[in-house]
Chain A
Amino acid sequence: MGAKAGSSPPVVPPPASSATSFFPSINGLKLKTKQQELLIRVSILALVYVLAFAIRLFSVLRYESMIHEFDPYFNYRTTLFLTEKGFYEFWNWFDFESWYPLGRIIGGTLYPGLMVTAALIYWTLRFLRFAVHIREVCVLTAPFFASNTTIVAYFFGKEIWDSGAGLVAAALIAICPGYISRSVAGSYDNEGVAIFALLLTFYLFVKAVNTGSLAWALASAFGYFYMVSAWGGYVFIINLVPLYVLVLLVTGRYSMRLYIAYNCMYVLGMLLAMQIRFVGFQHVQSGEHMAAMGVFFLLQVFYFLDWVKFTLNDPKLFYSFLRIALTCAISVGSLALGVGMATGYISPWTGRFYSLLDPTYAKDHIPIIASVSEHQPTAWSSFMFDFHILLFLFPAGLYFCFKRLSDATIFIVMYGLTSMYFAGVMVRLILVAAPAVCLISSIAVSATLKNLTMLIRAKNNATPMGSSKGTASLKASAKLIFMHFQASSFDQPLPYQRNVAIALLLGAFYLLSRYAIHCTWVTSEAYSSPSIVLAARGAHGGRVIFDDYREAYFWLRKNTPADAKIMSWWDYGYQITAMGNRTVIVDNNTWNNTHIATVGRAMSSYEDEAYDIMKSLDVDYVLVVFGGVTGYSSDDINKFLWMVRIGGGVFSVIKEPEYLVNGEYRVDKGAAPKMLNCLMYKLCYYRFGEVTTEYGKPPGYDRARGVEIGNKDVKLEYLEEAFTTSNWIIRIYKVKPPKNRW
């Protein structure tokens, strides 16, 4: 940054040159710096785009191009159906293969956004003559949308702060572990596209509020529609946006722009959302959506009062009118709400919603929600794990936001605070908080870096030779620093000010690089495992793969009758239907608690009682997951207490204390007798007593729980072992036909 900065005309041209020939060339030069800046910005964005995609491919490189976890298998199965049979067949699909004998209306009980998106990508690629398989499209959908999210984050950051913050936000969100955890290649779940839709909707809405343009409001309504079609988390939008509007009203920031943006977005968004069958009329009937409607009417009242105030032109008269009008409006509103609630037209809040507001609610009332590990309250360590330095930058960013308060920064502050609260309530909602945390942190990073560089560069300009600052990026916003500098140019400049700035800058870069390293490490170590294939280190340091899940599912697919019904705990339902292609009794769509409780009851009863239940459910095979040989801890024995609890919640014959000894859950000799003889115990430990799992331990030593099992002589009367995988992780039993009566 010397005197001859790149863009300033280096030497005074000869005065003879005429004005007409001179201007265009100067213009050209000037445009070039702008273009250079644009070029740098676009190339950074392009690199971030690629980075966001590439970092999510760890799982494909480590394992293979496959679908992960549980729910994605259902999504994959439905997408396959959609691409094979077409949209209308998909919409009208009645699935006989799940929830036997009830079945499931797929079209009316899912968010079709993800499947339709993947199918559209697939059809587009096919049209462009790329012979891809639908599985590849599904595997790469989440990384693709994560890349798109970075672009949205850039524009959002630009909207609330400046383009520098936008760039930082794009870079931060590209590798934020909290987001990566749900969007690695293969994690083909609703969240993958939903976070993109969420951020897009918010961005478009803020843009609409900032400009007051109908076009942006319309766009945000469509963004909302896409979000509704993709994920149940849209409830967050439909509650946060009205809350934001309310806050703006209270803080006296009501404007025509806000009125236009909210009304257009709410009315159109609501109408569009009703087109999704799973959501239907909830926008006008469910308690969770009433806040939005209330704020909508409030805005009308506000506008009306504004108009009255303008026409009356008399403060005294207006205040009396205001009092009457407000009383009327509030009483009418609450009356309508009360009548709606009383007649049952407006449904009360759902359990999930309650459990968000009150973290202890689910534990006491809905064991099926509490049993899912991702619904647990978040531990501090997982905040640190998923956000790393963003956790410290977040408050700093909030500080900057409060310092430069605007409609947009108020929005991001509210988004950040509410989503952080929800992230604390449920582990999986860290995902929703991730974009907000990245955006707010990016403001902190960008503003700090800008101030620091400004200090360093301002120093340089103080030398007498300094003439003009060429690059356009130096901002005048640092008036303060400038004043400071002006003072110091006459006095002796502070000797260490610049050094401190440089040191701070280096520190910031160190922190950011630590963040990048942490993210890469977390992604490769923690979030890239498909969880259907397990990997471990062998005795000689080699990688050992446990592919037992697929072994068992493929066995089911090939060696059982096509109409066989499989009973297992609901966790494995989606995988069995997708990979085993067989009918299941219950699956991960936990819509019928009684049905799940029946399975839980069968698993926790004695064999003869269980046999009656299984016969009544037409069960042919029972599948259990058992980790005693390999030390795999998320198996059915460890989940068993939830089965007892959920079963006991519906059938009072199942009592949790009967399975416990002094409140303690054991499987060894000291275990409760009911525990030692229930179906789940028998199926898991059948003939396990003859196996030596670890050198120096007695036979029947359970490695997952570290104890010798209590019942080594398990005899089965009504079932027979049909298949056990090579590491014993999955055991399948065949239900014997009833005995002849003579």
Chain B
Amino acid sequence: MRKVFACALFLLLATWMTTARSDLVISKVDRRIDLTSHIVRVLSTLKVENAGRVVVSEILLAIPNMQAKNLANLKAFYNEGKGKGSAINLPVAEVHPEGMPRELSFYSISLHEGLEKGKSLTVNVLSIFTHSLQPFPEEISQSDVQLVVYQDSAYYVSPYEVKSQSLNVLLPGGRVESYTKHPSGKLVDSEIKYGPYEKLPPFSYSPIVLHFENNNPFVVAQELVREIEVSHWGSIQITEHYNLAHKGATNKGGFSRLDYQSRSYMGGRSSLRQLIARLPPRAHSIYYRDDIGNISTSHLWGDSRKTQLEIEPRFPIFGGWRTSFTIGYSLPLQDFLFVSEGNRFLNITFGCPMDEVVIDDLIVKVVLPEGSKEVSVSVPFHTKQWHETKYSHLDIIGRPVVALEKNNVVPEHNTYFQVHYKFNNLSLLWEPLMLISGFLLLFVACIAYMHADLSISKSSASYIAKLQWDEVQATVQQVQNVIRRCLSAHEKLETSLQDLSRTGDVHSCKATRKIADGLLKELSKELKPLMGFLQSSPQAAQIWPKVEELVAKEKEMQEKLMQKHVAVVDCFEKKYSGREIENRVAPYQQKLSALKQEVDDLLDYIDEI
């Protein structure tokens, strides 16, 4: 079936040969097809000669449609000077020239300086194809090797005449089931050589089919969403949501853990066991998780040039199996964000950091800080773009998001792109201020609540009773204070007595008594209105007897103390002996300490209420 189609194509092409442009001639083509991974890389070195009369400024490349639909990247460059000069990229664009076969897609390389008559130029063309290796058989068991089929043309398909060409196909090694031997195919080690062929007309085509062993896991991210969130507080957070599948030969007949663990030579050689992500240096806060939680099988190491994250999926991925996970990491802001002419721009890589992963659908979202303006993006290749808004912590108007979407992405797309925007540094303070004011409001509300009187009816009995009770309490407290001051006056008197026994200074002792006496009298005067209020208040009925008792006891204590004081001073004036003084004072003393206890007790009791 395939061969029939290829022959038909060949015949068709032959009819078009005559109308091909003949200004340019390709004098030599070296093609190398790298099939060691599941991404097909074709590097063609073309030596182009201008055999016409006019200056030529573009070279046409032809790729069969069958392959062109899988084309991920097409790059043309030439080396400056002889040998290994620096490579200069040439712009490539898809074109639809008139009068060309429809089975081919055309791409034109624009030359910076036209190719003059008789001059020649060496151009390298790197084309990368995905999904070009077909597993055959399509279903294998766990112990089988994975065989794939690759189809191409032995001749370089070109709208120009090709004078001399050769083709090398690099295989991953291992078994080669079959390969097209005509014309002049030759297998050396793990390389198949075709050619050299001389003098072929334009659009020459000779199909070749290679069937060989390729045990690489065909890792395809069916969808990858990368979210790059810029925080001007000093970091860039990158979150990558992967949706992976193994697009190699489908596993059939179940999975045996025993074979997988103990017989690794036959337990799933094409399965995906681990992935390595090469992250930028100084990446930190790295995590690896999925919908149902953290995945603990990952390793990380890094030095000043790179950070390497080695992750294992929860289970080995066989052909046809899928998994999904999320990795996230933070990068220091200053490595990727720069300022130019008052604008800020973010310079960061586009693709995924993992090796040999084909991404069917890549969405890159750049989340800029709230308040960013005039956002623009420059990407080195064509992408679909749109804008979104994202709400994160404490966002009011939301963060502007630029989303870029590209299909069929290969590691070669992992180049830098830029996002330009304007941002005022003062906007940084907005969120902390909001938090602070939020808490302030909370506290103000609390204070207001504590001070506000929220009772519904101001005239209800219980409300009035409560007010009265408050008043009574305040009065009782005042009474207590007065009593306490009385007690401290008593203490003064006692100390004066002690001083007397030490110094014998009768006069100062008397003076102290006088002062204390005055003070006590004043205090009892103070007490009078308070007591009056308490007696009259109905709310105080319960507490009144105790207060009354307290005041009475205190009064009694006062009297006794005075008597004691007088007695002691008297004794001192009469110069009695210590023992006699003690004898005289003893009854007072006993009474006093008993009274004091009672007063203390009462004070405590009232405190309780």
Which A residues are within 8 Å of any B CB, using their own CB?
A: 3, 8-9, 11-12, 15, 19, 23, 26-27, 30, 63-64, 66, 128-131, 461, 464, 467-469, 472, 474-476, 482, 486, 489-490, 533, 545, 547, 550-551, 553-555, 557-559, 579, 687, 690-691, 720-726, 728, 734
A63 contact set on B, CB distance < 8 A? 294
Q: A715: shortest Cβ distance to chain B, in Å?
A: 14
How many residues of chain B are within 8 Å of chain A by beta carbon? 57
A490 contact set on B, CB distance < 8 A? 590
Once the chains bind, are A721 and B256 in contact (CB under 8 Å)? yes
Chain B 305-322 near chain A by CB (<8 Å), digits 1 or 0:
000000000110000011
Nearest B residue to A126 by beta-carbon distance? B391
Once the chains bind, are A476 and B608 in contact (CB under 8 Å)? yes
Once the chains bind, are A474 and B488 in contact (CB under 8 Å)? no
| Cα–Cα, bound, A579→B594 (Å) | 77
| Cα–Cα, bound, A128→B296 (Å) | 33
Q: B272: shortest Cβ distance to chain A, in Å?
A: 13
B257 within 8 A of A: yes
Q: B314: shortest Cβ distance to chain A, in Å?
A: 5
Closest 3 A-B residue pairs measured CB to CB? A724-B257, A64-B294, A720-B254
Once the chains bind, are B488 and A690 in contact (CB under 8 Å)? no
B481 within 8 A of A: yes
B 208-263 contacts with A by CB, 8 A = 253-258, 261-262
Once the chains bind, are A468 and B255 in contact (CB under 8 Å)? no
Given the contacts A66-B293, A476-B601, A558 and B393 also touching, CB distance less than 8 Å: no
B258 contact set on A, CB distance < 8 A? 687, 690-691, 724
Once the chains bind, are B292 and A553 in contact (CB under 8 Å)? yes
| Cα–Cα, bound, A30→B492 (Å) | 22
Once the chains bind, are B604 and A725 in contact (CB under 8 Å)? no
A489 contact set on B, CB distance < 8 A? 593, 597
B484 within 8 A of A: yes
A11 contact set on B, CB distance < 8 A? 488
Once the chains bind, are B255 and A722 in contact (CB under 8 Å)? yes
B594 contact set on A, CB distance < 8 A? 486
B605 contact set on A, CB distance < 8 A? 476
Please choose the segment from B7-15, B25-33, B514-522 that sits at the chain A interface, where 4 or more of its residues have CB less than 8 A away: B514-522
| Cα–Cα, bound, A467→B593 (Å) | 11
Q: B316: shortest Cβ distance to chain A, in Å?
A: 9
Nearest A residue to B491 by beta-carbon distance? A467
Nearest B residue to A486 by beta-carbon distance? B597
| Cα–Cα, bound, A555→B323 (Å) | 8
Among the listed A3, A129, A579, which residue makes an inter-chain contact with B395, where contact means beta carbons less than 8 Å apart?
A129
Nearest B residue to A13 by beta-carbon distance? B485
B126 within 8 A of A: no
| Cα–Cα, bound, A387→B604 (Å) | 37
Nearest B residue to A581 by beta-carbon distance? B291
Q: Which of A468, A486, A721 is the most central at the interface, judged by chain B CB atoms within 10 Å of its CB?
A: A468
B489 within 8 A of A: yes
B 569-605 contacts with A by CB, 8 A = 590, 593-594, 597, 600-601, 603-605
B396 within 8 A of A: yes
Once the chains bind, are B314 and A555 in contact (CB under 8 Å)? yes
Once the chains bind, are B256 and A687 in contact (CB under 8 Å)? yes
Given pairs A9-B484, A490-B590, A734-B254, 9 additional interface contacts (CB within 8 A): A129-B391, A131-B392, A131-B393, A476-B601, A486-B597, A489-B593, A547-B295, A691-B258, A726-B261
Once the chains bind, are A723 and B255 in contact (CB under 8 Å)? yes
Nearest A residue to B322 by beta-carbon distance? A558
Among the listed A3, A129, A472, A557, which residue makes an inter-chain contact with B394, where contact means beta carbons less than 8 Å apart?
A129
A723 contact set on B, CB distance < 8 A? 254-255, 257, 315
B324 contact set on A, CB distance < 8 A? 558
Q: B502: shortest Cβ distance to chain A, in Å?
A: 15
| Cα–Cα, bound, A599→B323 (Å) | 30
B478 within 8 A of A: yes
Q: Which of A469, A720, A724 is the most central at the interface, judged by chain B CB atoms within 10 Å of its CB?
A: A724
| Cα–Cα, bound, A11→B519 (Å) | 13
Nearest B residue to A692 by beta-carbon distance? B262
Given the contacts A467-B487, A469-B604, A19 and B295 also touching, CB distance less than 8 Å: no
| Cα–Cα, bound, A19→B315 (Å) | 86
B361 within 8 A of A: no
Once the chains bind, are B315 and A555 in contact (CB under 8 Å)? yes
Nearest B residue to A736 by beta-carbon distance? B254
B290 within 8 A of A: yes
B80 within 8 A of A: no
| Cα–Cα, bound, A414→B292 (Å) | 44
A545 contact set on B, CB distance < 8 A? 296
Once the chains bind, are A469 and B603 in contact (CB under 8 Å)? yes
B321 contact set on A, CB distance < 8 A? 558-559
| Cα–Cα, bound, A559→B244 (Å) | 12
B477 within 8 A of A: yes
Among the listed A26, A128, A482, A579, which residue makes an inter-chain contact with B292, where contact means beta carbons less than 8 Å apart?
A579
Q: A75: shortest Cβ distance to chain B, in Å?
A: 15
Once the chains bind, are A12 and B254 in contact (CB under 8 Å)? no
B394 contact set on A, CB distance < 8 A? 129-130
Q: A474: shortest Cβ distance to chain B, in Å?
A: 6
B138 within 8 A of A: no
| Cα–Cα, bound, A89→B255 (Å) | 40
B290 contact set on A, CB distance < 8 A? 554
Once the chains bind, are A12 and B294 in contact (CB under 8 Å)? no
B293 contact set on A, CB distance < 8 A? 64, 66, 550
15 CB < 8 A contacts A-B = A8-B484, A27-B477, A129-B394, A131-B395, A476-B601, A482-B601, A489-B593, A550-B293, A554-B314, A558-B324, A579-B292, A691-B258, A691-B262, A723-B255, A724-B256
Once the chains bind, are B488 and A467 in contact (CB under 8 Å)? yes
B600 contact set on A, CB distance < 8 A? 461, 468-469
Q: B530: shortest Cβ distance to chain A, in Å?
A: 10
| Cα–Cα, bound, A553→B594 (Å) | 80
B499 within 8 A of A: no
| Cα–Cα, bound, A66→B293 (Å) | 7
Q: Which of B395, B522, B608 is the most central at the interface, judged by chain A CB atoms within 10 Å of its CB?
A: B608
Q: A511: shortest Cβ distance to chain B, in Å?
A: 29
Among the listed A3, A8, A461, A472, which residue makes an inter-chain contact with B607, where contact means beta carbons less than 8 Å apart?
A472
| Cα–Cα, bound, A129→B430 (Å) | 14
Q: A737: shortest Cβ distance to chain B, in Å?
A: 14
Q: A686: shortest Cβ distance to chain B, in Å?
A: 9
| Cα–Cα, bound, A734→B253 (Å) | 10
Q: Which of A63, A551, A559, A734 is the most central at the interface, judged by chain B CB atoms within 10 Å of its CB?
A: A559
B 256-276 contacts with A by CB, 8 A = 256-258, 261-262
Q: A460: shortest Cβ distance to chain B, in Å?
A: 12
Once the chains bind, are A721 and B255 in contact (CB under 8 Å)? yes
B177 within 8 A of A: no
Nearest B residue to A728 by beta-carbon distance? B257
Once the chains bind, are A12 and B481 in contact (CB under 8 Å)? no
| Cα–Cα, bound, A188→B247 (Å) | 39
Once the chains bind, are B488 and A8 in contact (CB under 8 Å)? yes
Q: B69: shortest Cβ distance to chain A, in Å?
A: 28
A12 contact set on B, CB distance < 8 A? 485, 488-489, 492, 519
Once the chains bind, are A468 and B487 in contact (CB under 8 Å)? yes
Once the chains bind, are A550 and B314 in contact (CB under 8 Å)? yes
A464 contact set on B, CB distance < 8 A? 593
B526 within 8 A of A: yes
Q: B66: shortest Cβ distance to chain A, in Å?
A: 31
Chain B 280-303 near chain A by CB (<8 Å), digits 1 or 0:
000000000011111111000000
B485 contact set on A, CB distance < 8 A? 9, 12
Nearest A residue to B312 by beta-carbon distance? A726
| Cα–Cα, bound, A554→B324 (Å) | 9
Once the chains bind, are A3 and B292 in contact (CB under 8 Å)? no
Once the chains bind, are B488 and A9 in contact (CB under 8 Å)? yes
| Cα–Cα, bound, A482→B598 (Å) | 10
Among the listed B255, B314, B478, B526, which residue makes an inter-chain contact with A724, where contact means beta carbons less than 8 Å apart?
B255
B484 contact set on A, CB distance < 8 A? 8-9, 468
| Cα–Cα, bound, A725→B256 (Å) | 10
Once the chains bind, are A558 and B487 in contact (CB under 8 Å)? no
Once the chains bind, are B487 and A19 in contact (CB under 8 Å)? no
B492 contact set on A, CB distance < 8 A? 12
